């Protein structure tokens, strides 16, 4: 079994060079949610030169739309959404200093190129396990676009949130290597 790395979100940018596709990590620290509708608004703000709801430099975005928090919990179910829907926005955000994205599924070649160019990383969370994932989130605060409901931008605090490095800053891609390994075994 490979080592599981514990990493703070604020250190992801500097740690990105040491991560490889397939590495398992436990992420702690501040992470922001943003999905399709919020990404569209963020891009419009960038085009207008407006101040963004959070600093993109060294930020980590989780493609998720959490459900409301049950009594006594910080958050409801909080599983990843399909990352490909954000591919048209990701290169610009990476070029602005975004350090990592969290979601599920493959990324376009343009996003993979931007990850390498910007020494960033794409992490995959386990799909279908949103209720379990929510146990690793200790705080949740809506910081922008409240009218979007579950798709509003939220500031989350992760505590040892389990993730796998899917795309590393050296061009490693778990989706490509995983297929190659599977085809060889078959």
Q: Which residues are catalytic?
A: 39
DSSP 126: P
| Contact criterion met (CB below 8 Å) for 164 and 49 | no
Sign of the alpha-carbon torsion through 100, 147, 144, 41 = positive
| Contact criterion met (CB below 8 Å) for 93 and 114 | no
| Contact criterion met (CB below 8 Å) for 80 and 107 | no
DSSP 146: G
């Amino acid at each position: 079994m490979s080592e599981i790395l514990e990493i703070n979100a604020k250190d992801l940018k500097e740690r990105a060079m040491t991560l490889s596709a397939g590495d398992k990590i436990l992420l702690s620290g501040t992470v922001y949610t943003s999905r399709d509708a919020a990404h569209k608004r963020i891009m419009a703000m960038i085009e207008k030169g407006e101040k963004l709801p959070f600093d993109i430099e060294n930020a980590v975005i989780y493609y998720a739309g959490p459900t409301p928090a049950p009594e006594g919990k910080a958050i409801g179910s909080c599983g990843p959404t399909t990352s490909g829907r954000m591919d048209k926005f990701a290169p610009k955000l990476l070029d602005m200093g975004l350090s990592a994205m969290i979601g599920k599924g493959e990324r376009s070649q343009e996003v993979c190129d931007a990850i390498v160019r910007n020494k960033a990383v794409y992490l995959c969370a386990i799909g279908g396990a949103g209720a379990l994932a929510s146990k690793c989130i200790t705080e949740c605060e809506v910081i922008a676009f409240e009218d979007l409901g579950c798709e509003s931008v939220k500031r989350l605090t992760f505590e040892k949130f389990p993730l796998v490095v899917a795309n590393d800053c050296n061009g490693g891609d778990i989706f490509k290597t995983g297929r190659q390994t599977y085809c060889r075994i078959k």
